[in-house]
Amino acid sequence: MNRLKRILIGAAMLIIVHTVASADDQCYTCHSGLGDLPSEKFAKDIHFKKGISCAACHGGDAKSDDMDIAMSKKSGYAGVPKGNAISAACAACHGSEEKMKKYGSTLPTDQWKELQTSVHARTSFTGKENIAQCTTCHGSHGIVSVKNPASPVYPANVTKLCSECHSSATFMRAYNPSLPVDQMEKYKTSVHGMKHGKGDVKVAECASCHGSHGIRSVSDTRSTIYPANLPMTCAKCHSNKEYMKEYKIPVDQFEKYSKSVHGNALMVKKDLSAPACNDCHGNHGAVPPGVQSISKVCGTCHALNAELFSASPHKKAFDEKNLPECETCHSNHEILHATDDLVGTSGRAVCIRCHSETNNVKGFAVAKTMRSMIDSLHYHQQVAETLLTAAEQKGMEVAEAKFKLRDAHQADLQSKTLVHSFNEEKFREVVSKGISVAELVQGEAQQSIDEYYFRRKGLGVSTLIITVLAVSLFFYIRRIESKGK
């Protein structure tokens, strides 16, 4: 009974609103009498419900039932707006804070300004107007609130709306032939798309990432999808504990990523080649990489490491245990700078997670040997650098020796990559070359230092001899002068 009562009251209110809204709008009265489609749609339009007449957009005198007066130029009749005049008509109210307040609206009043800075504000192929107008997305006579499921820009409908243009190869060719037109198909395969397809309006859709009125190119530093801004865009949802609560996934990804070597490179050093969220998860087809595909994702950048690992004994072991390859040792979001501490049998070494003196002992021994060789190489490098510095400070020429030491540094870098092969023989070969070079440089640096001291002693002896000769000569001359007198 109460439900029926509410329905009747609601219907009565609609009739009252309809009557009040249309009483002073002779345009609507006439057109609705004709039963045309625009007037049918306008009856459901949010502007109609706010008491806004047809004349607000089309101009003219809405209070006159005389067509000549109502549609006269003196009355300001403009007819159907064309091109950019459409958005200008919308902006007349939606760009005015005063007018929006008059109708009790809390909507932002910068949409038109934002639209003018967006990619959709570029000139269309007709050369006479922008690519998109307000009505392109919101519709014209049947405009409803974005919160209304009937709206084209309601979250559940946005992907379909955007794909009307972005999935058309013919249409997109006129603006950006290089832009893919399969975003919608990819989106359907993503976690977001699959949930969206089931009616979940909380998951990310086009506007969630790209924005709505101020959509900008990926190369624009102000764009929400500009590489350096993308992690923050994803974090809007994925770092919101309350918003993500029902999905039961971690919300600390951004926090961890910010501390990672990738996050530091992208967001601090502004290295745009560093990976952001989409480089690993994908863009429109975003999904977390599976166990089998993590190495392929990492391998797109770290190609040599991935290749070495694939040929290593760990490849088979990881596959049997269903372990993700790179992530097992390096983590996923919080990937820190790889140091030598990760290799070996003590401290922070990741090897001891699986290897010990009693379990997988062969790997334990290899890890221990590799770490020992790494430490030996570093020791010889340090000694060589110390001796070179000492020789250089003494004024000795050591440029050639310093250049040779670069081969030892190169061997050190190669060892960091070659460790992924877990092949002791190959690893020893590279490290041994580095140690040999470092030892050679040590010898040359020590020779330079010895030569310095030899020269110094020689200079001292020479100085002493010269001094003795000078003194002797002085006294000899004095003797000769004395005899002469």
Question: Torsions phi, psi of 375, nearest 5?
Answer: -60, -40
Domain boundaries, the chain: 144-284, 289-336, 337-484
Q: How many residues appear in the chain?
A: 485
The answer to whether 182 and 169 have CB atoms below 8 angstroms apart is no
Whole-number Cα distances in Å, 448 to 380, 386, 451: 17, 13, 5
What's the CA gap between 277 and 227, in Å, rounded? 9
Per-residue pLDDT tens listing for the chain (485 residues): 444 444 444 444 444 444 444 457 888 888 888 888 988 899 999 999 998 989 899 988 888 888 888 888 888 888 899 999 999 999 999 999 999 999 989 999 999 999 999 999 999 888 889 999 999 999 999 999 999 999 999 999 999 999 999 999 999 999 999 999 999 999 999 999 999 999 999 999 999 999 999 999 999 999 999 999 999 999 999 999 999 999 999 999 999 999 999 999 999 999 999 999 999 999 999 988 887 788 889 999 999 999 999 999 999 999 999 999 999 999 999 998 988 999 999 888 999 999 998 988 999 999 999 999 999 999 999 999 999 999 999 999 999 999 999 999 999 999 999 999 999 999 999 999 999 999 999 999 999 999 999 988 988 888 999 999 999 888 888 888 787 76
Q: What is the pLDDT of residue 483?
A: 78
Q: Are 281 and 332 in contact (CB under 8 A)?
A: no
387, burial (CB in 10 Å: exposed 0-12, middle 13-18, buried 19+): buried
Cα distances (angstroms) measured from residue 52 to each of 17, 110, 133, 441: 11, 21, 20, 87
Residue 171: both structure tokens together: 């249409």
Q: Give the span between the Cα atoms of 51 and 46, in whole angstroms.
A: 9
Looking at residue 10, its pLDDT comes to 42
Distance CA 400, CA 440 (A): 12
How many CA atoms lie less than 13 Å away from 319 in the CB half-sphere? 10
Could you list the beta-strand ranges (E) of 215-298: none
Q: Are 225 and 210 spatial neighbours (Cβ–Cβ below 8 Å)?
A: yes
**Exposure of 114 by Cβ count < 10 A (0-12 exposed, 13-18 middle, 19+ buried)?**
middle
Q: Spell out the residues 6+ positions from residue 228 whose beta carbon is closer than 8 angstroms to its own.
A: 221, 266, 267, 270, 272, 276
SS (H, E, C) 88-155: HHHHHHHCCHHHHHHCCCCCCCCHHHHHHCCHHHCECCCCCCECCCHHHHHCCCCCCCCCCCCCCCCH
Closest by CA position to 345, among listed 325, 322, 369: 369
| CA 40 – CA 55 distance, rounded (Å) | 16
Identify any residues that bridge with 130 across adjacent strands, giving them in sequence order: 123
Q: Residue written as tokens 């820190």?
A: 336
Q: How far apart are CA 283 and CA 280, in angstroms?
A: 9
- Given a contact cutoff of 8 angstroms between Cβ atoms, the answer to whether 422 and 312 are in contact is yes
Rounded distance, CA 260 to CA 12, Å? 61
Q: 198-208: buried (b, 16+ CB within 10 Å) or exposed (e) per residue?
A: eeeeebbbbbb
**pLDDT for res 268:** 95
Residue with tokens 């002693």: 457
- Reduce the DSSP state of residue 451 to 3 states and report it: helix
Residue 290 near residue 325, CB atoms below 8 Å: no
Cα angle 170, 171, 173; round to 5: 70
Residue 135: CB partners within 8 Å, gap ≥ 6?
A: 86, 87, 90
Q: Are 354 and 362 in contact (CB under 8 A)?
A: no
